[in-house]
Amino acid sequence: MVREFEDVIIQTLCRFLVPFIQTYSLYVFAHGHSSPGGGFQGGCVMAAAFVLIFIAYDLNEAKRRFREKALLIFCCLGVFIYAGTGWACLLLGSNFLDYGFLSKVLPTDPVKARYYGMAMIELGVQITVMAIMVSIFLDLVTRGEHEEIMEEEGA
């Protein structure tokens, strides 16, 4: 996995499947309100798409698609979005995470404002879960030695 495998059938097929898996994960996330799904499930499916690239190609190709700096930024961005929505409700004059008061900013009534507040926090959860699953996977597979392996292969 960490060294290049070089089989044409597997590489072509995985490259063909990855956009469909990512679209399916966005579908699972977006339909979380009226069918089974939501933030956690969508995040795990998106992480599975990235792991497929890692299995078919090698570490350098996978790191080119999703750099380490972007990975760390995504980890923190999700928690920030979640807490940020709670803070926005606090600043508008209500309790923490009370989405009804978001109707002062969004052009809807308080009941629909709860609907949109839930969608925002599920977005935060999905981003965090995807980034953490990918990060734990890369750390465990390379035994923590990302940079040594990339130097050896001549990144």
Partner 1 sequence: MLEYLISKYNYWMYVVIILIGFYGMMAKSNLMKKLIGMGIFQWAIIFYFMSISAKKGATLQIISGHHGAYAVARAVDYVNPLPSVLMLTAIVVAVATTGITLSVLILIFRRYGTFEEDEIIKLMNEKGK
Partner 2 sequence: MKKVPAFIAIIITAFLLIYAAEDFPKWADPYQPASLHVSPRYIEKTVEETAVPNMVTSVLADYRGYDTMFETTVIFTAGIVVMMLLRRPKKW
> If contact means CB under 5 to 8 A according to the sort of partner, which of partner 2, partner 1, none does residue 112 touch?
partner 2
Q: Is residue 36 at the binding interface for partner 1, with CB under 8 A as the rule?
A: yes
Of 43 and 85, CB closest to partner 1: 43
Q: Is residue 75 at the binding interface for partner 2, with CB under 8 A as the rule?
A: yes
Cβ atoms of 125 and 39 within 8 Å: the answer is yes
Burial 107-133 (b: 16+ CB within 10 A, else e): eeeeeebbeebbeebbbbbbbbbbbbb
Q: Is residue 93 at the binding interface for partner 1, with CB under 8 A as the rule?
A: no
Q: Is residue 114 at the binding interface for partner 2, with CB under 8 A as the rule?
A: yes
* Backbone angle region of 66, left / alpha / beta, with phi > 0 → left and psi within -120 to 50 → alpha: beta
Of 91 and 140, CB closest to partner 1: 140
Q: Of 4, 61, 139, 148, which one interacts with partner 1 (CB under 8 A)?
A: 139
Sign of CA dihedral 59, 61, 65, 69: positive
User: Would you tell me which residues interact with partner 1 (CB under 8 A)?
Assistant: 34-36, 40, 136, 139-140, 143-144
